């Protein structure tokens, strides 16, 4: 990026604008590769340039939440549950990052009228959570309208080496590079397989292999097998099942019952995943469901155990295919017809 800059090296503002524009393009392209789009991009710098940060600091002063120490404005965050008070201005009069963050959230929740906001912070910003929530309370905005999730880092494993990322050390692998290597569906599924507040390791050798050890392959192959059964039904000219005419009481094999039991939990899992901000629960369900289907596929002949049982099992497979498609769509992963 530095080599591509041909402007005045002494103009910090121009150099920063050049870099930020480049980085924003990279972020948007990386997200686009994963099928992620935002309706609105909002510049925090625009709030600072508009004078809104100063207005919010003055409002905090008027509410008695700021004291002046050595010429600097200090938010009395300890009054609102923080472990220390926080500076909102520097010695040179510039505003701190916290001041800008407070102004942004005030603008969002009060001026723009959002009912609720969910932030995702890196774990290294954990200390900022109580001060930001406290500032919302000090501004007369219910802190319960702001929810902050803390995300941990993801490490990559290449062979025996685990690459632990560090911005300070410059040890970073570009998201686009990994997405290109393993595919968007794999990247999404692997990103969502653990809780956001837990560190995780992605083994690139495993996730690029076509084996049951690969969780992405394992799940998508279950759907591909379901699709293959339907193609085989058509090839063999087996009548399409009509559920009202099918005797579902024939589905008594332990593998069938296990599959149906897990499938019946999908609506509950989706509800919990939404309320707990835990999409990994859907991925866990997908792995369990795929495992149950692979077991069923291995132990139960869908098309070869008599016409009545065939019709019942075809109905079950069709229902299973709907369920796994729904779950995959919720985490933005493609349901492959062939593998």
199 vs 150: CA distance, rounded Å: 11
Last residue of a domain, one of 151, 176, 193: 151
Nearest CA to 286 out of 276, 294, 297 is that of 294
What DSSP state is assigned to residue 94? Answer: P
Q: What pLDDT sits at residue 164?
A: 65
Whether the CB-CB separation of 188 and 333 falls below 8 Å is answered with yes
Q: Is position 70 within any domain? A: yes
Its domain, for residue 106, covers 42-151
What pLDDT sits at residue 2? 85
Domain shared by 285 and 255, yes or no: yes
Give me the tens of pLDDT residue by residue for the chain, a chain 339 residues long: 888 899 988 899 899 999 999 999 999 999 999 889 898 888 878 888 888 999 999 999 999 999 999 889 999 999 998 999 999 999 888 899 899 999 999 999 998 999 999 999 988 888 889 999 999 999 999 989 999 999 887 777 776 767 666 666 666 777 888 888 888 888 888 888 888 888 877 777 777 777 777 888 889 999 999 999 999 999 999 999 889 899 999 999 999 999 999 999 999 999 999 999 999 999 999 999 999 999 999 999 998 888 999 999 999 999 999 999 999 999 998 888 988
Q: What is the pLDDT of residue 206?
A: 77
Beta bridge partners of 171: 166
The residues near 321 (Cβ < 8 Å, ≥ 6 apart) are 223, 226, 227, 230
Indicate if 267 and 321 belong to the same structural domain: yes
Of the candidates 129, 125, 113, 145, which has an alpha carbon nearest to the alpha carbon of residue 80?
A: 129
Say whether both 50 and 64 belong to one domain. Answer: yes
Residue 226 shares a structural domain with residue 247: yes
Residue whose pair of structure tokens reads 């510049």 in the numeric block: 43
Contact 6, 14 (CB under 8 A): no
Q: Which long-range contacts (CB under 8 A, 24 or more apart) does 119-124 make?
A: 119/146, 119/147, 119/148, 119/149, 120/148, 120/149, 120/150, 120/151, 120/196, 121/148, 121/149, 121/150, 121/151, 122/150, 122/151, 122/153, 123/150, 123/151, 123/152, 123/153, 123/197
Secondary structure class of 93 (helix, strand, coil):
coil
3 located within any domain: no
Shared domain check, 129 and 194: no
Does any domain span residue 4?
no
In terms of domains, do 141 and 48 share one?
yes
Identify the domain boundary among 166, 182, 207.
Answer: 207
Same structural domain, 230 and 283: yes
The enclosing domain of 246 has a CATH number of 1.10.730.10
Answer whether residue 306 is part of any domain.
Answer: yes
Contacts of residue 317, defined as CB under 8 A and 6 or more positions apart, other chains included, come to 226, 229, 230, 302
Domain match, 143 and 64 both:
yes
- Residue 57 belongs to a domain: yes
Same domain, 222 and 142: no
- How many domains are contained in the chain? 3
Model pLDDT, residue 257: 96
Backbone angles phi, psi at 176, to 5 degrees: -60, -35
Do residues 160 and 129 share a domain? Answer: no
The pTM of the full predicted model, rounded to 2 decimals, is: 0.83
Are both 312 and 226 inside the same structural domain? yes
Which among 253, 230, 209 is positioned nearest to 317, based on CA atoms? 230
Assigned domain for 20 exists? no
> Quick check: is 300 in a domain?
yes
**Strand locations in 112-267, DSSP E?**
117-122, 146-151, 154-158, 161-163, 200-203
| Residue 235 forms part of a structural domain | yes
Pairing of strands 154-158, 86-87: unpaired
In angstroms, what is the C-alpha Rg of the chain? 27
60 and 133 share one domain:
yes
Q: What is the reported pLDDT for 290?
A: 96
Among 113, 134, 151, where does a domain finish? 151
Residue 177: which residues within 8 A CB-CB, separation 6 or more? none
């Amino acid at each position: 990026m530095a080599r591509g800059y041909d402007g005045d090296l002494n103009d910090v503002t121009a150099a920063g604008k050049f870099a930020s524009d480049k980085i924003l393009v990279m972020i948007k392209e990386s997200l686009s590769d994963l099928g992620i789009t935002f309706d609105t991009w909002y510049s925090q710098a625009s709030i600072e340039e508009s004078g809104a940060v100063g207005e919010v600091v003055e409002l905090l002063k008027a509410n008695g939440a700021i004291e002046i120490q050595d010429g600097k404005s200090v938010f009395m965050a300890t009054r609102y549950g923080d472990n220390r008070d926080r500076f909102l201005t520097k010695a040179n009069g510039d505003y701190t990052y916290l001041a800008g963050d407070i102004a942004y959230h005030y603008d969002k929740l009060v001026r723009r009228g959002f009912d609720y906001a969910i932030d995702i912070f890196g774990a290294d910003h954990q200390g900022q959570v109580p001060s930001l929530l406290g500032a919302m309370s000090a501004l007369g905005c219910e802190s319960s309208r702001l929810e902050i999730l803390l995300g941990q880092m993801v490490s990559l494993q290449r062979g025996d080496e685990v690459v632990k990322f560090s911005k300070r050390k410059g040890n970073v692998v570009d998201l686009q590079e990994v997405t290109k290597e393993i595919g968007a569906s794999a990247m999404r599924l692997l990103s969502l397989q653990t809780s956001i507040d837990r560190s995780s390791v992605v083994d690139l050798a495993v996730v690029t292999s076509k084996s049951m050890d690969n969780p992405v392959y394992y799940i998508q192959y279950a759907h591909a097998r379901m699709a293959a059964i339907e193609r085989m039904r058509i090839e063999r000219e087996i009548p399409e099942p009509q559920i009202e005419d099918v005797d579902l009481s024939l589905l008594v094999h332990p593998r069938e019952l296990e599959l149906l039991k897990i499938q019946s939990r999908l609506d509950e899992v989706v509800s919990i995943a939404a309320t707990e901000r835990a999409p990994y629960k859907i991925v866990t369900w997908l792995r369990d469901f795929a495992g149950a289907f692979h077991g069923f596929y291995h132990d139960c002949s869908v098309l070869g155990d008599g016409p009545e049982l065939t019709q019942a099992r075809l109905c079950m497979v069709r229902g299973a295919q709907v369920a796994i498609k729904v779950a995959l769509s919720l985490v933005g992963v493609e349901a492959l017809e062939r593998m």
